[in-house]
Amino acid sequence: MRRVPSSPDQETKSPEMLSEYRFDYSKAKPNRFARSGTSRVVVILDPDVAVVFRTPESVNSLLRAPITTMPRGGKK
């Protein structure tokens, strides 16, 4: 490939990017590694606790019980 020297006025002609560097957003795909809309927290249970709570639903129901008794709002 032959090198062509660029002219000084070509570099200062347009401050915007050249058309070949523009991104075509219509062809974009979502990032499969990005977080989804729901957030999750992973908790590792000790073996003796895991024997009692075999499903995530059982753990969640037990954790939600004290939440219902807590006062909401208000100042701390």
- Look at the pTM and tell me if it is higher than 0.75: no
If one compares 70 and 1, the residue with the highest pLDDT of the two is 70
Domain-embedded: residue 46: yes
Domain-embedded: residue 50: yes
- Sign for the pseudo-dihedral over CA of 50, 56, 59, 63: positive
Domain-embedded: residue 8: no
SS (H, E, C) 16-41: CCCHHHCCCHHHCCCCCCCCCCCCCC
The percentage of the chain sitting over the pLDDT mark of 90, rounded to a whole number, equals: 17
Q: Which residue is listed with tokens 């989804």?
A: 36
Assess contact for 53 and 45: CB atoms under 8 A.
yes
Range of the domain at 53: 42-70
> Whats the size of the chain, residue-wise?
76
Q: Using one digit for the tens of pLDDT, what is the confidence trace for 58-73?
A: 999 999 999 999 888 7
